Amino acid sequence: MSQGPEVLIPTSAAEAVELFGTGADTAVVGGGTILIPMLRLSDARPARALMLHHAGLAGISETGGRLTIGAMTPLNHLAAMADPIAACVAHIADLEIRGQATLGGNLCARNTDAPRGDLQGAMIALGASVRSVGAGGERTEPAEEFLANRDDRLVLDVSFELPAAGAYAYLDRAHTHEYTALAVSAVRTSDGAIRLGANGAGPHGLRLPSAEAAASDHAAAGSAALADVALFDDAIASAWYREKTLPVLVRRALDQLKEAA
Amino acid sequence: MSLNITVNGASRTVNAEPLTPLLHVLREELDVLSPKAGCQNGGCGTCTVLVDGEPRRSCLLPIAAVEGAEIRTVEGLAPPGQLSPLQEAWIHHYAAQCGFCTGGFLMAATAYLENGGSDDHTEIAKALGGHVCRCTGYVKILDAVSAAARGDSFDLTTTAAGLHTTLKGVDQ
Ligand SMILES: Cc1cc2nc3c(=O)[nH]c(=O)nc-3n(C[C@H](O)[C@H](O)[C@H](O)COP(=O)(O)OP(=O)(O)OC[C@H]3O[C@@H](n4cnc5c(N)ncnc54)[C@H](O)[C@@H]3O)c2cc1C
Ligand code: FES
Ligand code: FES
């Protein structure tokens, strides 16, 4: 790493925000489980790297039924939460990586050679808001809006209302290493609304509004979901395979949600 | 940057770029060679060490993120010339073939046992599930960790693998 980036190590959230600025040519280092190999191989060559491990952005707090999770919270701290989070986290990598990988890194992970960022679908289903800074200052917005427009943002935290029930249906693979090719998160909110999010069905986690509108008929919702996604081929599954399985996973997630108290 | 880490009980000062993976610092600066560079992408577990008691992939950990931490590797499992009970079980059960994956497996299994892990194969497989053995000796590895969890003891001079180790000396 002879010509490596200038490394910045802020010791508070305020300092991290200030150093990040507009985020130009800056790589944010969360847990580093994706970024460190990229930097080592020069697949990423940022001018600056902002390391967040001392920035005080980790932690989970609850006020009035609303949960706020800091961007640097490691995934293993989310393992005991209600579904869809718990089931989703249990299928991300293995326990060593889950101890290092962060929620912020998962929300900012990109589908390059593998469908990364499994919690994106879960956060969409939960109706989570993402608080971030960057050019134009601070923004707090629904996860699906953040994901569609997340370049050069520093994620501070994510918050959502505790759901009445949640479910996670996924394509399981034999080996823990394998990324989840496709999964659907379903949530029933405290006022009875049903929300659906998918990961592995587009360039980032996607909401499934057409399926939500048809949610009373689980099979119809499954077919409707195909209108909401941008299926792709990768080394793990073909678009054809994803097209055949997405309706099944939507149906299963809704079936599970109905069972869940 | 200059920073301190503790490796197997000894305080060490290292000079490294903050984003250098811990694996490289251990192997190239500190001559601690049990963590192996396998995939260097987080996908194999040959580089696993304990960081403040937790198993972590040293190829993914930037050195600046572990400043001040207590690192343990195979070199620290037992005093020189001795083996930990888990290592003895490994030899007795012939759980190492080429041995390239062994260091990572031993550290992950050490953490599992120190956290009170049982001899249940499914539980062990969950804890070690991110580790790959290219020689595919998984059954033997599960047997060894189970035996150590139960506290089985072995007379290594009577096992083929143990005899071999005794003849060659374990602290070469
Ligand atoms: C063997 C292996 C298996 C894996 N399996 C899975 C899997 O099944 N599912 C899955 O989803 N992922 C998987 N991953 C990928 C990865 O571990 C996770 O997605 C993890 O949550 C990424 O978080 P991180 O903190 O380590 O990210 P980092 O590597 O730190 O960062 C990832 C990206 O997000 C950016 N970033 C990080 N934090 C922030 C922030 N606060 N604000 C703005 N940008 C930020 C970085 O700049 C970078 O672009 C796997 C990785 C490995 C090595
Ligand atoms: S070398 Fe670290 S996981 Fe393979
Ligand atoms: S013993 Fe050869 S890789 Fe495991």
Query: Matching CATH topology for B2-76 and B85-171?
Result: no
Tell which residue, A69, A61, A56, A71, has the closest CA to residue A15: A56
Nearest-by-Cβ selection for A100 from B17, B45, B61 = B61
**Site of tokens 């699906």:** A144
- Confidence tier at A175 by pLDDT (50, 70, 90): low
Q: What local confidence, expressed as pLDDT, does residue B172 receive?
A: 43
CB neighbours (10 Å) of residue B79? 9
pLDDT at A213 over 80: yes
Nearest-by-Cβ selection for B18 from A9, A94, A176 = A9
- Confidence tier at B168 by pLDDT (50, 70, 90): low
Share of chain A above pLDDT 70, in %: 97
Nearest-by-Cβ selection for B64 from A5, A51, A99 = A51
Rounded Cα–Cα distance for residues B70 and B25 (Å): 14
Q: Rounded to the nearest whole angstrom, what is the distance from the C-alpha of residue B45 to the centroid of ligand 2?
A: 5
Mean pLDDT of chain A: 95
Rounded Cα–Cα distance for residues B128 and A59 (Å): 27
Assigned CATH class of A165-259: alpha beta
Over range A14-38, report the average pLDDT.
Answer: 97
pLDDT at B164 over 60: no
Measured at the CA of A135, the angle between CA A129 and CA A139, to 5 degrees, comes to 20
pLDDT at A4 over 90: no
pLDDT at B49 over 70: yes
Q: What local confidence, expressed as pLDDT, does residue B166 receive?
A: 56
Chain A residues lying within 8 Å of B42, measured CB to CB: 33, 37, 93, 97
CATH H superfamily, domain B2-76: Beta-grasp domain (3.10.20.30)
Strands B54-57 and B70-72: unpaired
Cβ of B108 closer than 6 Å to ligand 2, yes or no, is: no
Tokens of B133: 């053995």
- Confidence tier at A1 by pLDDT (50, 70, 90): very low
Chain B residues lying within 8 Å of A39, measured CB to CB: 19
Cβ of A180 closer than 6 Å to ligand 1, yes or no, is: yes
Q: What local confidence, expressed as pLDDT, does residue B170 receive?
A: 52
**Site of tokens 């491990």:** A53
Tell whether omega for the bond before B79 is within 30 degrees of 0, i.e. cis: no
Tell which residue, A137, A125, A132, has the closest CA to residue A166: A125
Please give the full DSSP string across chain A, using - where no structure is assigned: -TTPPEEE--SSHHHHHHHHTT-TTEEEESS-TTHHHHHHTTS---SEEEE-TTSS---EEEETTEEEEETT-BGGGGTTSPTTHHHHHHTSS-HHHHTT-BHHHHHH---SSS---THHHHHHHTT-EEEEEETTS-EEEEHHHHHHT-TTEEEEEEEEEPPSEEEEEE---SSTTSPPS-EEEEEE-TTS-EEEEEESSSSS-EE-HHHHHTTTSHHHHHHHGGGG------SS--HHHHHHHHHHHHHHHHHHHHH--
pLDDT at A240 over 60: yes
Q: Rounded to the nearest whole angstrom, what is the distance from the C-alpha of residue B32 to the centroid of ligand 1?
A: 28
pLDDT at B137 over 60: yes
Q: Rounded to the nearest whole angstrom, what is the distance from the C-alpha of residue A62 to the centroid of ligand 1?
A: 25
Cβ of A194 closer than 6 Å to ligand 1, yes or no, is: no
Over range A121-148, report the average pLDDT.
Answer: 98
Share of chain B above pLDDT 70, in %: 92
pLDDT at A6 over 70: yes
Residue A87 CB burial class (10 angstroms; 0-12, 13-18, ≥19):
buried
Over range A233-256, report the average pLDDT.
Answer: 95
Residue A171 dihedral angles phi and psi, to the nearest 5°: -90, 110
**Amino acid symbol at B71:** I
Residue A173 CB burial class (10 angstroms; 0-12, 13-18, ≥19):
middle
CB neighbours (10 Å) of residue A221? 24
Over range B123-131, report the average pLDDT.
Answer: 95
DSSP structural state of residue B98: S
Q: What local confidence, expressed as pLDDT, does residue B169 receive?
A: 55
Looking at domain B85-171, which of 1.10.110.30, 3.30.429.10, 1.10.150.120, 3.40.50.300 is its CATH number?
1.10.150.120
Digit-coded pLDDT (tens) for A74-116? 999 999 999 999 999 999 999 999 999 999 999 999 987 778 8
Of all ligands present, the nearest one to the C-alpha of A117 is: 1
Chain B residues lying within 8 Å of A1, measured CB to CB: 17, 19-20
Measured at the CA of B152, the angle between CA B151 and CA B153, to 5 degrees, comes to 110
Annotated domain spans of chain A? 165-259
